[in-house]
Amino acid sequence: MDTRLEAVRSIVLDRNPGEGEFHQAVDEVFASLVAVLDKHPEFAEASILERICEPERQIIFRVPWVDDTGKVQINRGFRVEFNSALGPFKGGLRFHPSVYQGIIKFLGFEQIFKNALTGMPIGGGKGGADFDPRGRSEGEIMRFCQSFMTELYRHLGEYTDVPAGDIGVGGREIGFLFGQYKRITNRYESGVLTGKGTSWGGSLVRPEATGYGTVLFTQEMLRTRKQTFDGQRVAVSGSGNVALHAIVKAQELGAKVVTASDSSGFVVDEAGIDVDLLSQIKEVERGRIGEYAERRQETAKFVDGGSVWDVDATVALPCATQNELLEEDAVKLVKSGVTAVAEGANMPCTSKAADVFHDAGVLFGPGKAANAGGVATSALEMQQNASRDSWTFEYTEERLTDIMVGIHDRCATTADEYGQPGNYVAGANISGFVRVADAMLAQGVI
């Protein structure tokens, strides 16, 4: 590695011991930056790299709550306010038992460059808790969200820090969090959270935006090779917010999506995933993916455990979680004839898997670019809140489409400019980094 990058990397490793996901996210960005430092020596002179890797503020707090049996439960809450050079800290909240500081930091770090890439005025942050919503009653979820917000509210504000959803946090949780923020502050401050319900300040298209955006980004990549989604055989992982809406949009564009998954295993449906059934099971009943196959025995089967990437596909969209697509999965997908892969989730492909795709000439859209439609539509929600307006579905979807095409073009042009044509990873990292670094330079040493 370049000595300028290596020096900062070793500081990051020393300061953040045991935070493997964060180290991985930093390494992936650094791998794209040698040419940037050559072209912009002023960034290294002002220690932009070292500053960008150190969050502006990190908050860790106790979240006490009482479960349905009357027992006191304690969780740990986090918010990493990573970078506000371009706007208020912006990024989701994740409720999952695996959450710890390293996961929140990796997500917050990614978020800085993703948000910059959208071209919108949003900084980067992320938060969450090691709370497991699975099997919890509605009352328990509400009490947890209220306790979480009772501590976090003092750090938030429409001009300060604006959370949204992520794994385990959807419209229901945002409702409970918003209600508690409003009660404590005595302010109807719509712009403090995004992903709200449409009757109380939310934006149409926000629930669909990440999955739709991933497919729109993939469509732009395919277009460079004169291909479309029509007739593609698509493998999707996950069955949450991102996966579900990626499936909907891909099928709308003529593809057949044959898989969906959760942490218990995956389903293969050779007739194409029935999105109404999937949404009924996952969103309404909050059930498990195996139930999908039980109710569609004619065409679908459930595979307990195993890897969804064993299924042959021409397009793969990992939409579940980090490091869920490994090198050996990438090799299998290449053998099965995959031509495009786009990350609906954050960092679902390991760097070795991404290398396999690059070496095989597969179109590869990194999460920072391919899943940016979610946060971009959050920024559109903030815009509507600020102007006390609400836009139609059609208009908002048009804005999302323009944003995704813009991100694609920005990645492609930057990759060309830096001598790596077709490398969307380099394009996304460089373009996002330069926008943030320029703003940091302009704002002085803070």
**333 interacts with, out of ligand 2IT, ligand NDP, none, CB within 5 to 8 A per kind:** none
Q: In angstroms, rounded to a whole number, what is the distance separating the alpha carbons of residues 328 and 344? A: 20
The region of 17-25, 61-69, 88-96, 251-259 touching ligand 2IT under the rule CB under 6 A is 88-96
Strands 57-66, 89-95: parallel, antiparallel or unpaired by DSSP?
A: unpaired
**293 interacts with, out of ligand NDP, ligand 2IT, none, CB within 5 to 8 A per kind:** none
- Check: CB of residue 343 under 8 Å from CB of residue 370: yes
Other residues' Cβ atoms within 10 Å of the Cβ of residue 199: 7
Q: In angstroms, rounded to a whole number, what is the distance separating the alpha carbons of residues 204 and 380? A: 10
Spacing of C-alpha 136 from chain mean position: 24
Does 77 bind ligand 2IT (CB under 6 A)? Our answer is: no
* Min dist. Cβ of residue 135 to ligand 2IT (A): 23
When binding is defined by CB under 6 A, the residue of 251, 346, 384, 431 that contacts ligand 2IT is 346
Find the helix or strand (DSSP H, E) in which 315 lies.
strand 315-318
Q: Which is nearer to ligand NDP, 49 or 80 (CB)?
A: 80
* Min dist. Cβ of residue 226 to ligand NDP (A): 29
Angle between helices 20-30 and 101-117 (to 10 degrees): 30
Q: Which is nearer to ligand 2IT, 77 or 256 (CB)?
A: 77
* Min dist. Cβ of residue 437 to ligand NDP (A): 23
**149 interacts with, out of ligand NDP, ligand 2IT, none, CB within 5 to 8 A per kind:** none
Nearest Cα to Cα of residue 213 among 427, 354, 433, 377: 377
Q: Which is nearer to ligand 2IT, 16 or 111 (CB)?
A: 111
SS3 content of the chain, % helix, strand, coil (to 5): 50, 15, 35
If binding means CB under 6 A, how many residues of this protein chain bind ligand 2IT? Answer: 11
Q: In angstroms, rounded to a whole number, what is the distance separating the alpha carbons of residues 102 and 112? A: 16
Q: Residue 144, SS3?
A: helix
Q: In angstroms, rounded to a whole number, what is the distance separating the alpha carbons of residues 298 and 300? A: 6
Q: In angstroms, rounded to a whole number, what is the distance separating the alpha carbons of residues 421 and 363? A: 11
| Backbone φ and ψ of 246, nearest 5° | -65, -40
Q: In angstroms, rounded to a whole number, what is the distance separating the alpha carbons of residues 435 and 118? A: 11
**91 interacts with, out of ligand NDP, ligand 2IT, none, CB within 5 to 8 A per kind:** ligand 2IT
When binding is defined by CB under 6 A, the residue of 374, 400, 410, 432 that contacts ligand 2IT is 374
Name residues contacting ligand 2IT, limited to 170-209 (CB under 6 A): 194
Query: Which residues form the interface with ligand NDP (CB under 6 A)?
Result: 165-168, 210, 238-243, 262-264, 319-321, 344-346, 371, 374
Q: Which is nearer to ligand 2IT, 164 or 426 (CB)?
A: 164
Other residues' Cβ atoms within 10 Å of the Cβ of residue 63: 22
- Check: CB of residue 95 under 8 Å from CB of residue 136: no
Does 92 bind ligand 2IT (CB under 6 A)? Our answer is: yes
Q: Which is nearer to ligand 2IT, 90 or 399 (CB)?
A: 90
How does 345-358 read in b/e, with b if 16+ C-beta sit within 10 Å?
Answer: bbbbbbeebbebbb
Nearest-10 Cα torsion for 291, 293, 297, 300 = 170
The region of 86-94, 150-158, 212-220, 400-408 touching ligand 2IT under the rule CB under 6 A is 86-94
Name residues contacting ligand 2IT, limited to 400-439 (CB under 6 A): none
Active site residue 126: yes
**365 interacts with, out of ligand NDP, ligand 2IT, none, CB within 5 to 8 A per kind:** none
Query: Residues 90, 105, 114, 126: which is the catalytic one?
Result: 126
**194 interacts with, out of ligand 2IT, ligand NDP, none, CB within 5 to 8 A per kind:** ligand 2IT
Does 166 bind ligand 2IT (CB under 6 A)? Our answer is: yes
DSSP 349: B
Does 373 bind ligand 2IT (CB under 6 A)? Our answer is: no
Q: Which is nearer to ligand 2IT, 164 or 216 (CB)?
A: 164
Q: In angstroms, rounded to a whole number, what is the distance separating the alpha carbons of residues 266 and 289? A: 7
Q: Give residues in contact with ligand 2IT (CB under 6 A).
A: 90-92, 111, 164, 166, 194, 346, 374-375, 378
Catalytic positions, written as ranges = 126
